[in-house]
Amino acid sequence: MAPAKKRNVSSVKTAEKSAKKAKVDLSKTVERILESRKHANDVFDILESLQAEQEKEVIGAVAACSELFCALLERKELFLGKLPGEEDALSGGYSAEDKYRIFMRHRYTSCVEILLEHLSHEQYDIKESAMCCLMKFAAGEGRHPLEDLDWSEHYSFPRELIQALVDNLLSKATDNSLLISRFQEFLEMEDVRYYVMSSIRDNVGKVMDKSKGAVVPVYQNNVFTLMSSISMPNQESELTNFMVKQEAKHEDWKAAKLHEHKRVFERMWLGFLKYKLPNSMYKKVLVILHDSILPYMSKPTLMIDFLTAAYEIGGAISLLALNGLFVLIHQHNLDYPDFYKKLYNLLEPSVFHVKYRARFFHLANVFLSSSHLPVYLVAAFAKRLARLALTAPPTALLVVLPFIYNLIRRHPSCRVLIHKPSAEDEPFEDPYLTDEEDPAQCRALESSLWEIKSLQKHYHPDVAKAALLINTPLSEQEDDISETLEVTTYELMEKDLKQPEIKSVPLEFETATRLLKGRGDVLGQHFCLA
């Protein structure tokens, strides 16, 4: 076994030496090509190394390509305009200078194609170095365009290269989250961000139409990761960091205008969200919706179709969708009359047992905080919660009961649910319709909160104590439910099982100095030892 181990070590050293030698050779090759055009064919050696199997050799070749072609762009030694075929260049009436530029332009195109393929390589280091090299090429093309500048809308920005880069980042088979996080630093440049957003929109339309709207989980996750990495500016004065500096008419460039950024941002998100998403992704989008998406849209109310579709999924996604609708209603004047009806229908026994219970009651408290809500609506929520409380666990009851009390405090007209006059001898039949989905038709105001009265005999003393509060006039100050939202059954049991501290009980207010002898000799006056 020892000799084999020795051979492995020597083979590793040999590979490292060969990689180091190849790197030195590639650097010399680049120097020769740049020094004299008679060595132009040596570029094929670099492109061959770019497709090697050894990781270090490929990374060395990427660095060599970066050095070579960035220098050629700076020297303007690549052919400008529509690139003719190599055979046409040889047979056509081109000068020796043009033939050289056409030759090197074709090699540059081949290099870009190989680098784009490397974005799907198994080794992350190769993917990262290929992406960084492509961005250097993009910066070089921006300074020294390879196309005629007859397209005034985009000026000299290398839009086609960015589109190709985005198309390969958004893989349908490989999760590129790590590579996209590395790409995020380039999104800090205003023009790169603008054209990346436009490229995402075009790519999503092509891919999703090709899949006929079916869910493509890996691809859609890559798209969401890239889109959520985009940080939008708040003011036009913040648009200062550009990869490509436009010498003339910079103010007329779309990438330099904030309203154009918002327009492309909005179209990108709407184009992505109009297709069906994996269920897990709905939650990811809804969590960042009101902070990272809505504030930067020109017309936030266009999100209503997505939010309505998300509500139909159920569970936590429905709750988060209602949160998005609530933001649109309060901040963007959206008219959505079914909002509270949808919230009312989310109140089911399962809501006490899901992991998002704390978030549900926190948001429900926000939704029902207005004192201008109709009395019938507040009464319906109070009654529905009271009915569900009959089968709820103690941890949930410690939230639900103060929640109901707060509703009654905000709307004194709902006190009729507590003080309901009824004949003691007549049997009571609750008119409340449990299965009614419309809170306006459930007849809650005709009923009473007899469920809370029943909970006064609950087995858990904390719940019984909380239910007894309804027998006394409620204070004007609302209960803070935030302290009990996160309480678990384990914490509740720990509290009950914890032994109270035994305090010393004072039996005498004066310290005795001897038997039957205290200060003032009171004991000695009335008692004696026989």
Structure-block tokens of residue 444: 């809650």
CA 29, CA 42: separation in Å to the nearest integer? 7
Residues 6+ apart with CB under 8 A from 422: 428, 448
Least confident range from 43-57, 82-96, 444-458: namely 82-96
Give the residue, 242 or 150, on which the prediction is more confident.
Answer: 242
Cα separation, 461 vs 528, in Å, equals: 50
Q: Which pLDDT tens digit goes with each residue over 69-111?
A: 999 999 988 988 888 888 877 776 788 888 899 999 999 999 9
- Angle, helices 315-332 vs 279-288, to 10°: value is 30
When pLDDT is averaged across residues 314-332 and rounded to a whole number, the result is 85
Residue 31, pLDDT above cutoff 70:
yes
Examine the pLDDT at 124 and tell me if it is beyond 50: yes
Give the pLDDT score at 514. 63
Q: Which residue has the higher pLDDT, 135 or 494?
A: 135
314: closest CA among 342, 341, 273, 349? 342
Q: Which has the closest alpha carbon to 18: 63, 69, 67, 53? A: 53
Residue 88: predicted pLDDT: 78
Mean pLDDT of the chain: 84
Q: How far apart (Å, rounded) are the C-alpha atoms in residues 345 and 262?
A: 35
User: Which residue has better confidence, 293 or 480?
Assistant: 293
The pLDDT value recorded for residue 491 is 79
164 pLDDT tier (thresholds 50, 70, 90): very high
- Residue 336 banded pLDDT, cuts 50, 70, 90: confident
487 φ/ψ sector (left φ>0, alpha ψ -120 to 50, else beta)? beta
Q: What pLDDT does 330 receive?
A: 84
Q: What six digits make up the tokens of 360? A: 């549900």
Whether 238 and 256 have beta carbons less than 8 Å apart is answered as: no
pLDDT digit string, tens, across residues 300-322: 889 988 998 888 888 888 888 88
Task: Write down the H helix ranges in 76-123.
Answer: 86-91, 96-118
Give me the residue spans of the domains in the chain: 23-148, 338-503
